[in-house]
Amino acid sequence: MNIDLLGYRQNAGMGQVEVANALDISKMQVNLYEQAPDTVPMGLLVKWLQILGIDLATAMSAPIPPLKGIDPGTPYTELYRKLNLLNQYIGDTPPVDKLDIPTPPATPHDFQQQLKLYKQKPNVVLTGGFDAGKSHMANALLGSKNLPVDYQPATRVITFVRHIEDRPKWCKEDVLIVNEDFWLKDEKGNQIIDLLLLDDQERCDKYCVHAGSFDTLQKYGVHGEYEDIAAHAAVVYINSPLLQACNLIDLPGFSDQPDEVSKDVEKATSAAQIADVVVYASPAKGHINAQDMIRLSKLLSSLPTKENECSNFPTLGNLFIVATHADPSISDHQLKEIPPGAARRLYKPLNEGVLKTRGERTNRAITQEDLRTRFFTFWSERPDRCQQLFDDFTKLLSEFLPQAHLCRIEREINAIKEANTEKYTKQIEAYQKTLADIDSRRKQLQVLEENETARKQETQQKRDRVNQSTRELQRNSRTSFQRYTEQLLTVDAVEKIIRNLYDDKKEAKEGLAGYLVEKLQHEAEQIIKSNSDKLTPSIEAFLGSYQEALLKLPNLDISIEIPFDAKGAFIGGLTGLTSIGALSAWAAALGNLGGYILVAKLVSLLSALGISIGGGTAAVISFVAAIGGPIVLSLGLAAALAFSVWNLFGESWQKRLAKETIKYFEKQRIPEKLTDGIDQFWQDTTNTFEVGANAVEADWNKYIEHLREITSPTTESKDRIEEIIKILEVGKDFFGGIPWSNTNLKGCIGISG
C-alpha cells in the first residue's frame, strides 16, 4: 500500500518532530517513512494514522495525490529589476558615438547587448538514451502533458520550452518548428545554439516551417509520418511555474547504434553545449551502462563549474542522474540500492579523468559520495519515488543557481565598469597631451614610420616563432601521448587494471572500455594543457612587439601617447571563432577581462572555456567528440558482444578480457583517433592565431593612418582630436556612472566587499 503520510501530516498541521515524539521514533525515521510509506510496519502505521486522525480503511482507499510540477518561485525578479534600471540608465544617457579609431573602446550599445545575455534564464537540458523517458519526466517537472511521449524514439527535434511570458509580442502561437538553417554556424560549419535568436522575428519568419498549437509539436516534433519535414528545433511556450526560473531543453535521445537516428545524436550533442544544468535519464533497470558512462563523461567535460562562482554551490550541484522507469516491479529495497551501485560503477572510470579535471578546476576533490548525491529516482505514479529529485531540483533552481548567476553578473558588471572607465580615462589623457603638442607628435610619427621596416621584421620574427613553437608543441603532444598509450594498452597493464578495479566479470566487461577511454582522454588533455601553457609567452611576445615599437623610437626620449591595444585587436579578430586551440590558455592568463568582455561574443567564448572574470582555468578540449560520436557510443555494447564466448578459453578471465579489449581498441583505432584530435587542436591553434595576428596588423595600419590624421599640419587635425575627446568624455561618464555597486553577495567568489 502507498499511503500519503506526508500529506496527512501537513493537513493535520503537525511537524515531523511532533509525530516522532508521539510515535517514539526519530525525526529521521519519520522522514524516511514518509518517503517510503510501504516500509512502515502495520502496527506502527495504525498508531501513526490514529495520531493524524485518519481511519486506516479510509487511508488505504484514498487515491494518492498527483505529482505536482516544480515551483521554484521567481528568483530573478530583483535581478530583472536592476537590469531594467540599467537599460533605463542607458536610455537616459546622451548618445555616445562609436569612435572611428583603431580598437575603439566599448559603447553603451555594447553594454546594452551584454545585458540581454544577463537576462537569459539558465538552461536545464534533459538528455539520455532514446528510451529513457525524458519527455515524460519533463512533463512531470513542468506539471503539464504538453510534450509528446512514447516508448519508441519519439523526440526528433531539440525542444526549447520557455515560459509564456517570454514569448515575444509578435509571436501568437504556442509552438514554432524551425529548420536547421535557423541557427548560425561557426567556422567549421557547426551550429551555434543561441537562444537570443528565438526573439528575432525576422529570423523566425524566415526559417519557421510550421507554427500552431501543441498538436503541432505532436505532428512535427516526433518520428513518424511527418519525417520528411525538415524540422530541427521546436520552441514551446507554456505557463508553468518551473519556467520562471529556467528554460527547459528536451533533447532527442542518444542511439546505441550509428543508424538512421544518428541525426538525433548530432542534435543532442550540439544543444548539450549550452547546458547550465544537465538532467541525465537512464532506466532504473540496467541503470548506467557503458554507453551512459561515456556520454556522462562528455557532458561533464562541458558542464559549467558553478562552484567557481559561489562557494555555497553544491559539488556537482548542476548534475542530476535520474533512474527513470522506477516502477513498482522494483521493490523499495532494490530501488535504494540503485544509486549507490551506479555511483560506484561510474566513479571508477570518471575519477581518473573528467572528475579529476573538474576537481582541479573547482579546487574541490570530488569523492564517490559527492557523485552518489547526484543520483535520483523517478516514477511519476509514485511521488515518494520522485520526492528527492523534486526537492533537490527545486532548491537548485530557487536558491543555488540564482545565487551563482547573480555572483557572476555582479563580478562582470563591476569589472566592466572599472576597466572601461580606466580605459576611457587613459585615452582622454593621451589625446589631451597630443593636442597640447601636435608638432612633437608629428615628429614622433615620422620616426615611427621610418622605423616601420625594422618593426615589421621584428614582428614577423615573433609571429614566426609562435608558429614554430606551435609545431614543436604539436610534435611533443603526439609523442608524449603515443608513449603513454603504448604503456597503457598492453595485456599486462590492462589485466592489472582489471584485477585492481573489478571483482565482477559483468561489471568489468561493461565498464573497462569506458575506463580506458577516460584514461586516454584525460592524459591527452593534460598533455595538451601543459603544452598550451608553454605557448602563452611567445604569443605575449608577439603582441608586445607592437607596444615596443612605440616605446623604443630611435633618438626620442618620450613615446607616442596614443595607445595601441594589441590584445584588444587580437581578441576582436577572434570574434565568432569557437575552435581556438591553445589560445584558450592565453585567454585564461589575461587576468581581469573587464576591458575586453564587451567585444562581441567574447563572453560566450570565455564562458565555454571555463574562464571567469578575474582569471580562471581553461577547459582545453573534449576528446570524446574527436573519437567519433556513434562509434564510441556503441563501444561498450560491441565490446560486450565480442567477449560473449570467453568461457571457451583456458586463461584467466582477466587476461582474456585484457587481450580482447586491446584487440578491440586497435580495430576501432581509438588511440589514432585521439591523436588525430591532438593534431586538430594544434591546427586550430595555428589557424586561429593567424586570424588574430592578421587582425592586429590590420589595426596597426589603421593606427598609423589615424596618427597621420590627428597630427597633420591643418586645423582639421585639432578639430578631430577635440571631437574625439568630447566623445571619450561622454563614454567615461557613462561607464563611471553605471548605477551598480558591489553588494558583496554571500558566498560569491572573487568579489570583495
Q: Where does the pLDDT of residue 634 fall: very low under 50, low under 70, confident under 90, or very high at 90 and above?
A: very low
pLDDT tens by residue, 71-120: 999 999 999 999 999 999 999 988 877 788 888 888 999 899 889 989 99
The answer to whether 339 touches 323, Cβ cutoff 8 Å, is yes
Q: Is 611 helix (H, G, I), strand (E, B) or coil?
A: strand
Task: Categorize the per-residue pLDDT at 328 as very low, low, confident or very high, splitting at 50, 70 and 90.
Answer: confident
Whether 615 has a pLDDT exceeding 80, the answer reads: no
Residue 2 predicted with pLDDT over 70: no
CB-based contact 471:668 (threshold 8 Å): no
The DSSP string of 404-437 is HHHHHHHHHHHHHHHHHHHHHHHHHHHHHHHHHT
Per DSSP, the residues of 46-80 read HHHHHHHT--HHHHHHSPPPPPPPP----TTHHHH
Position 391 in a domain: no
Beta partners for 278?
A: 125, 319
Q: Is residue 336 part of a domain?
A: no
pLDDT at 605: 55
For residues 282 and 293, the answer to whether their CB atoms sit within 8 Å is: no
Alpha carbons 309 and 259: distance in angstroms, whole number: 41
- Phi then psi for 250, rounded to 5 degrees? -100, 120
pLDDT at 632: 42
Tell me the one-letter amino acid at 432: Q
Cα–Cα distances in angstroms (integers) from residue 276 to residues 301, 413, 425, 544, in the given order: 12, 20, 37, 37
In our burial notation (b when 16+ CB lie closer than 10 A, e otherwise), range 324-339 reads bbbeeebebeebeebb
295: pLDDT confidence band, cut at 50, 70 and 90?
confident
In a domain, 664, yes or no: yes
Put residue 581 in one of left, alpha, beta given phi > 0 → left and psi -120 to 50 → alpha: left
Q: Are residues 146 and 53 in the same domain?
A: no
Distances (CA, A) of 586 to 50, 436, 538, 544: 68, 38, 10, 14
- Asked if residue 27 is part of any domain, the answer here is yes
C-alpha grid cell for residue 610? 571555463
| Each residue's pLDDT tens digit, 692-708 | 999 999 999 999 999 99
Q: Is residue 511 part of a domain?
A: yes
Count other Cβ atoms within 10 Å, centred on residue 456. 14
Q: Are residues 673 and 557 in the same domain?
A: yes
Residue 705 shares a structural domain with residue 559: yes
Domain match, 565 and 698 both: yes
CA distance 73 to 131: 31
Q: 352 in a domain, yes or no?
A: no
Collect contacts of 636-641 with beta carbons under 8 A, ≥24 apart.
636/289, 636/290, 636/291, 636/293, 636/294, 636/510, 636/511, 636/513, 636/514, 637/256, 637/257, 637/290, 637/291, 638/664, 639/290, 639/509, 639/512, 639/513, 639/664, 640/290, 640/509, 640/510
- Are 472 and 614 found together in one domain? yes
The secondary structure of 431-454 as a DSSP string is HHHHHHTHHHHHHHHHHHHHTHHH
Q: Which residues are 250's β-sheet partners? A: 126, 159
Among residues 210, 229, 263, which one ends one of the domains? Answer: 263
Same domain, residue pair 604 and 500: yes
Instruction: Please name the helix (run of DSSP H) or strand (run of DSSP E) that holds residue 567, with its range, or none.
Output: helix 566-573
Average pLDDT over residues 401-419: 91
- List phi, psi (to 5°) of 191: -70, 140
Residues belonging to the chain = 753
Q: Which residues contact 660 (CB under 8 A, 6 or more apart)?
A: 639, 642, 643, 646
pLDDT of residue 153: 46
Residues 174 and 31 in one domain: no
377 belongs to a structural domain: no
| Residue-level pLDDT at 602 | 61
Q: How far is the C-alpha of 161 from the C-alpha of 199, rounded, in Å?
A: 14
Residue 487: count of CB within 10 angstroms of its CB: 10
| pLDDT-based confidence at residue 443 (cuts at 50, 70, 90) | confident
The pLDDT mean for the chain works out to: 84
The residue type of 563 is P
Residue 604 has pLDDT above 90, yes or no: no
User: Strand, coil or helix: what is 739?
Assistant: coil
pLDDT of residue 727: 93
The answer as to whether 706 is a domain residue is yes
Q: What percent of the chain has pLDDT over 70?
A: 85
Give me the CATH number covering residue 35: 1.10.260.40
As a whole-number percent, the residues of the chain with pLDDT over 90 amount to 43
Say if CB 710 and CB 721 are below 8 A apart: yes
Sheet with 123-128: list strands edge to edge: 208-212, 175-178, 233-238, 158-163, 247-250, 123-128, 277-283, 319-324, 375-377
Residues 507 and 641 in one domain: yes
For residue 286, count other CB atoms closer than 10 A to its CB: 13
Total number of domains constituting the chain: 3
Whether residue 560 sits in one domain with residue 674: yes
**Residue 753 burial (10 A CB sphere; 0-12, 13-18, 19+):** exposed
Paired with 124 in beta bridges are 248, 277
The one-letter amino acid at 626: A
Cα gap 424→210, rounded to integer Å: 49
Domain boundary among 61, 79, 96: 61
Structural domain span for residue 554: 437-711
Predicted confidence (pLDDT) per residue in 194-251, tens digit: 899 999 999 999 999 888 888 887 776 666 655 667 788 899 999 999 999 999 998 8
Type and span of the H or E element at 238: strand 233-238
